[in-house]
Amino acid sequence: MVRPVDLRDYVRFSQASATRVRVFATEVLTIDLWCLEPQQETTVLSYEDVDVAYTVIGGHGWFVTDEGEIGLAALGSILVPAGSPHAIDNRHADPLVVLASAAPPDVTLDALVEDTPVSDAGEAVFQDGS
């Protein structure tokens, strides 16, 4: 089943910590949004059997890996191979939103549970002719 979404409906920030929101989950792929307030960072992330591609869709982020640090602006992307420890760091004054595509999904208990959207405005989704 094809299911379009407006990613803006899934953006969710927390003053307490970086937030991961699961947008899509299948047996072969997961799509998450990481939302970080200024000066927030994720814990160290490492997935033994999962490749993850991160794409900055808003803000500026630093990706800290065992190979060094890589800064990315909006539409910059990075591939983190399975087994590579890494973290996402927002060192800027603006919020950071990162799209994470993982394959195959991490096999943790909640791997295939999708979060509900914060809104259902769906402004980016339109029908043919709209």
Residue 130 has pLDDT above 60, yes or no: no
Q: How far is residue 7's CA from residue 118's CA, in Å, rounded to a whole number?
A: 10
pLDDT of residue 129: 59
Can you tell me the mean pLDDT for 106-110? 60
Letter for the amino acid at 47?
Y
- Quote the percentage of the chain above a pLDDT of 90: 73
| Average pLDDT in the chain | 91
For the cut 50, the answer to whether the pLDDT of residue 109 exceeds it is no
Which whole number is the average pLDDT over 15-39? 95
Q: What are phi and psi of 30, to 5 degrees?
A: -125, 150
Q: Locate the DSSP E strands across the chain.
A: 19-25, 30-36, 51-58, 60-65, 68-73, 77-80, 86-89, 96-103
User: Is the pLDDT reported for residue 76 higher than 70?
Assistant: yes
Q: Which range, of 1-10, 50-59, 78-87, 109-118, averages the lowest pLDDT?
A: 109-118
Q: Is 89 helix (H, G, I), strand (E, B) or coil?
A: strand
Has this prediction a pTM greater than 0.95?
A: no
Question: Binning pLDDT at 50, 70 and 90, where does residue 126 land?
Answer: confident
Cα 64 from Cα 85, distance rounded (Å) = 8
